[in-house]
Amino acid sequence: MSNIKYTEDHEYIRVDGDIATVGITDFAQSQLGDVVFVELPEVGASFEQGEDAAVVESVKAASEIYAPVSGEIVEVNTALEDEPTGVNSDPMGNGWFMKIKLSKASELDELMDEDAYKALVASQS
C-alpha cells in the first residue's frame, strides 16, 4: 500500500510515521506552468486541515497550497525560495513544500488514494 495520499486540490502528502511531506502533484505543476515564486509557511506554524499554508506563483497564476492535514510545520523546503522551478522539475520529489507533524492522523482517511486521484485527474483532463 502506498504511503502517499492526495487532495482534490492536487496536493500530495507522503507520510512517514507522524511526519508528512506535502507538495503539489505533477498534474498541478503542469497546469500551473513555469513556477516563478514559492511562499512557504514558517517553521513552528500550525494549520488546520484545509487552511492556506503556502502560495505558488507561476507565469499563469498564483495558487494557494492548502494543508491536507492538521499539524505543525517542522520543516520547509528553503531550496524552493532560490529555485522555484524545482516544483516543475521534480514536484513529487525535491520539489516538496513543507513537512507537517500530524496532529490528527485520522484525517488521512479523508484523502484519496492513487487510484481515486488518477480518476479525478482523468475527469479534469
What is the pTM assigned to this prediction?
0.94
User: Please, are residues 32 and 56 in contact by the beta-carbon 8 Å criterion?
Assistant: yes
pLDDT of residue 125: 77
Per-residue pLDDT of the chain (125 residues; tens, 9 = 90+): 468 999 999 999 999 999 999 999 999 999 999 999 999 999 999 999 999 999 999 999 899 999 999 999 999 999 999 999 999 999 999 999 999 999 999 999 999 999 999 999 999 87
Q: Which of 60, 58, 66, 52 is nearest to 24 (CA)?
A: 66
pLDDT of residue 1: 43
CB half-sphere exposure, 24, CA atoms < 13 A? 29
pLDDT of residue 2: 64
Which fold is adopted by the domain 4-104? OB fold (Dihydrolipoamide Acetyltransferase, E2P) (2.40.50)
Distance of alpha carbon 53 from alpha carbon 124, whole angstroms: 24
The residues that bridge with 23 in the sheet, in sequence order, are 12
